[in-house]
Amino acid sequence: MTNNLPPISAAYRSKLISAITSISVFFLVYFILILISLLLIFLLGYGALQIVRLHSNYFTIAIALGLVSVGLVVFYYLIKFIFKKSNYSNKHLIEVKRKNQPEFFSMIDEMVKETAVKQPGKVFLSSEVNASVSYSSAFWSMFFPVRKNITIGMGLINTTTVGELKTVLAHEFGHFSQRSMKIGGYVNQAEKIIFDTVYNNRDFENSLKYGSGHWIYQLSAWISIAFINAFQYILKIFSDFLFKNNASLRREMEFHADSVATYVTNPKEQVSALLRLSLSDTAFNSSVIFYAESKQAYLPENLFENQTAMMKILSERNNYPYENNLPKVDPEDLTRYNKSKIEIDDPWSFHPENDRRIEMILKNKTKNIPENNELAKNIIRGFDEVCKALTKKHLTMCEIESTGEIISGNEKFVQLYNETYPYKKISSAFNGYYEHHNPVLENIEDLTGTPASTETYDFFNDENLSLVYEKAGVRNDLYTLEYLAANSRTVKTFKCNGRLYKTNEARILIPRFTKNLEELNSRLAENDKKIFTYYYRKADANDKETLVAKYKKFALLDHEFDVFQNSISNFIPHLQFISVTLPVEEIRKHRAVLLRNEKPFKEILRKFIEESGYQELITPEDQQVIKEFIRSEYIYFNNDRYIQPEIDAVINLVNKYQEILNTTYTDYKEELLDFQTRLDQAS
């Protein structure tokens, strides 16, 4: 059976060679540095001995000890990572045994047999929406064989079928079969070395600088630090090279593990599990965030029960149908809102993009075993009790205290969630056209005399909806191209419509994308004019006047929105110093800048509540909050300390201002669209 499993690809082999080369070069350089430090110990020790022999007294002995300490300190700097204790704990996991979960282990046995790998050393359940292979990362694991463990997230089990869970297990066991996983162990140790010697060395250096006492030992410490800085520079040169090659290999390892999973299961269930993964993760995290932001007012009895409810809420909001009691996410849903034509490979990413994985999965060889649409949670004995135990562990890990009302069941959870995070969806009558597009028309009176079209025309069809998403994609691509043109050294190459370009060619594409954006704006504007004319002809005399007024008002709000949003964006940077520890003099300088910029900010706030189109839409309570800030004379910092009530007041004001701006704009947009809907229904 082993011989029938998919072989590694040529790309995998190439990446593996590159990874092995980079690891070998790194450890060779590291070994040379250790030899240099040992040579340093020998030379400085020999010099110290000669000094003492020449003339032995307190002064020469102190110099001798200082010289020896330089070599010893540099050597210890290079190997101190070995003595670091790992902070990793598996307290957030539950280890499961065969005798307690025979059905689950039966599935594991089946996948072990199909993928021709050794049984995992241990099997754990976690709260995550994920599955992973792990093994000891201790220093000595580079030289001795270790058993691989597997961790399966209950958040994953809770949102897959038995067949889909098998594909996930097969993928993880596909990693088991990869000898190149051993390379990961060496990379892990290299990362530890780099982190501990290059990025986590400040405490060590400070202890040398300020803990030396006698001036001779202080001088020795500074000499040691000079050597350490030189070694850091050398190690840092090789870190990017090492990490990029490892990330590239890891992506190929994912493709190969996918090919193993496809072969021993089937591509349909593999793809469906992969497509639902993001939704499952969002549902679980949204549940956790709800409880975290309740400030201990509520606590979950079973987070995974809430995850199921959140899946239902999110599916209704995104129009995902249900199949086999789980949301069905189509490949098109991944790209529905993303019409970008620019692709930039992330050299640091360990996982390929899902669309690329799906493309490869559908090409893989497969046995195409029959589907199993039973819910995966049914094979876990005592599922609810295990979920409750993992919920407690997850709350502890997230530092959410065990106080507040316990929420049992989903009815109360759904009610509280919808009250806390109300969702406003634009009327379905518009097919999502206005979800990411605003009905802004200038010179609206010019359209009132335009005769209505007699042709049958669907203003909100999929073709016009696609224009909205294409516009968003082109606009984002323009931002990307402008960034690449201004920062040509950020990445070397990018793809546009599948063609490879050098980064310095980004500027060539900008006019083409600018013209495309203008064309899309023109086509959407033409459609918006037809929409207005259609509703205007449907309205009676009073409604005609109301419709025109609402379009004019919304155009004004849209124009002013950018002005007020910019005022927030420009003011916020002047508050950032508050969240950073700084010397008193630095704080006073930043405060002076803040106070200078506060005056124009208050003037814009005054226009917002007294002169703008938003004026009559802002509640008296919100107006009062803004007026109080305008009248304030905060100084924020005095007598070498912050005035916390004033700091809290300005931060709350900025947040409130942003909330009022967003809510008022959105509410008026909905009011306009609801009016159009009523005109349609009245006819």
pLDDT single digits (tens) 310-320: 999 999 888 89
Res. 435: pLDDT tops 60: yes
Res. 438: pLDDT tops 90: yes
- Please give the Cα distance from 639 to 657 (Å, whole number): 30
Burial of 628 (0-12, 13-18, 19+ CB in 10 A): exposed
What's the one-letter identity of residue 214? H
Q: Averaging pLDDT over each range in 179-193, 203-217, 331-345, which range is the top one?
A: 331-345
Q: Averaging pLDDT over each range in 45-54, 55-64, 193-202, 237-246, which range is the top one?
A: 45-54
Res. 593: pLDDT tops 70: yes
- Report the mean per-residue pLDDT for the chain: 87
The average pLDDT across 54-74 equals 85
Q: Averaging pLDDT over each range in 51-55, 301-305, 435-439, which range is the top one?
A: 301-305
**pLDDT value at position 571?**
96
Pair 120, 147: CB distance under 8 Å = yes
3-state helix, strand, coil in the chain (%, to 5): 70, 5, 25
Res. 339: pLDDT tops 60: yes
**pLDDT value at position 136?**
52
> What percent of the chain has pLDDT above 90?
52
Question: 478 by DSSP, 3-state: which?
Answer: helix
- Please give the Cα distance from 65 to 183 (Å, whole number): 41
pTM of the model: 0.75
Element (H, E) at 145: none
Task: Work out the pLDDT band at 675, boundaries 50, 70, 90.
Answer: very high
Backbone angles phi, psi at 92, to 5 degrees: -85, 0
User: Lowest-pLDDT range, 104-118, 188-202, 602-616?
Assistant: 188-202
- Please give the Cα distance from 187 to 190 (Å, whole number): 5
What's the one-letter identity of residue 378? N
**pLDDT value at position 2?**
44
pLDDT single digits (tens) 65-110: 888 888 898 888 888 877 766 655 678 899 999 999 999 999 999 9
The average pLDDT across 251-259 equals 91
Pair 131, 153: CB distance under 8 Å = yes
**pLDDT value at position 639?**
84
**pLDDT value at position 1?**
42
pLDDT single digits (tens) 466-522: 999 999 999 999 999 998 888 877 778 888 988 889 988 899 999 999 999 999 999
Q: Averaging pLDDT over each range in 158-162, 234-238, 438-442, which range is the top one?
A: 158-162
The average pLDDT across 318-343 equals 84
Q: Could you tell me the two tokens for 233?
A: 């520079």
Instruction: Please report which residue ranges of 441-540 form alpha helices under DSSP H.
Output: 462-486, 506-538
The average pLDDT across 205-228 equals 76
Q: Averaging pLDDT over each range in 160-164, 343-347, 405-409, 475-479, which range is the top one?
A: 160-164
Res. 451: pLDDT tops 70: no
